[in-house]
Chains A and B, each alone.
Chain A
């Protein structure tokens, strides 16, 4: 029988949620090698996810796309003023406690329950963009420095 690999998504999820439990990940891989069942592996990973979420309910671990060392160092008070690049939040979530996966789940839920919401969101975004452009144009016209600079250049 040909050996199959564990599902990549399940494996990525497992490495994310059980990053600090190397023996558990090793055990799951070992048992997967014996069983060769993707369904079994997915079931195990989802249980680990469930147990982890019940146990660490308050811990916020948004889906990170970039691991940046200063993100952890900045939590220490003496390192608050550390000079260096700021961590980049690529999880796309401005809301504490809701990471990238949470936003994906929210988006899916909205699409299923009320897909017409996306039109409202789109119109709102376009209206915001239009409002921003108009404000920038108005400020440019009223800016005395720019107006004077324009005259100097013209003269």
Chain B
């Protein structure tokens, strides 16, 4: 089985996609990362990462109906796949393994 270890941005995108649920499209995912991650997000970078994740079959997407509020342009909704969920868990496990037994990080509460 191929192991998927994600970059920090990919991990944040996948987690934000899961948090957004059925309403996970670019704007919502970017806002979720900005709100929880405290960083400015470029929508183009979000889409580039999502396309990469989709190529690796970690997410799937489907295009919704066009809406007038967006100049008649459709939304593209993303959903994490079972492979994506497995990748998130593997990445978390790897990060936790790296995190443990580092004296400088003990007792920091993080």
Which positions in A face B, CB cutoff 8 Å?
18, 21-31, 33, 43-44, 47-48, 50-52, 55
Contact = CB atoms under 8 A, between A and B. Distances in A.
B63 interface: yes
Contacts of B71: 25-26, 29
B76 A23 contact: yes
Contact of A47 (B45, B63, B67, B70): B45
A130 to B, nearest CB: 50
Pick from A21, A23, A31, A44 the residue with the most CB of B within 10 Å: A23
Interface in B46-93: 47-48, 63, 67, 69-71, 73-76
Nearest to B26: A27
Contacts of A24: 26, 43-44, 47
Interface in B16-32: 25-27, 30
Given A33-B69, A44-B43, A26 B75 contact: yes
Please classify how large the interface on chain B is, using the bins under 10, 10 to 19, 20 to 34, 35 or more: 10 to 19
17 contacts: A22-B73, A23-B47, A23-B76, A24-B44, A24-B47, A26-B67, A26-B74, A26-B75, A27-B26, A27-B70, A27-B75, A29-B70, A29-B73, A31-B27, A44-B42, A51-B45, A51-B48
Nearest to A30: B70
A54 B42 CA distance: 15
A22 B44 contact: no
B47 A22 contact: no
A78 B74 CA distance: 36
A17 to B, nearest CB: 9
Contact of B44 (A26, A30, A33, A48): A48
Contact of A28 (B43, B45, B69, B76): B43
A47 B74 contact: no
Contacts of B26: 23-24, 27
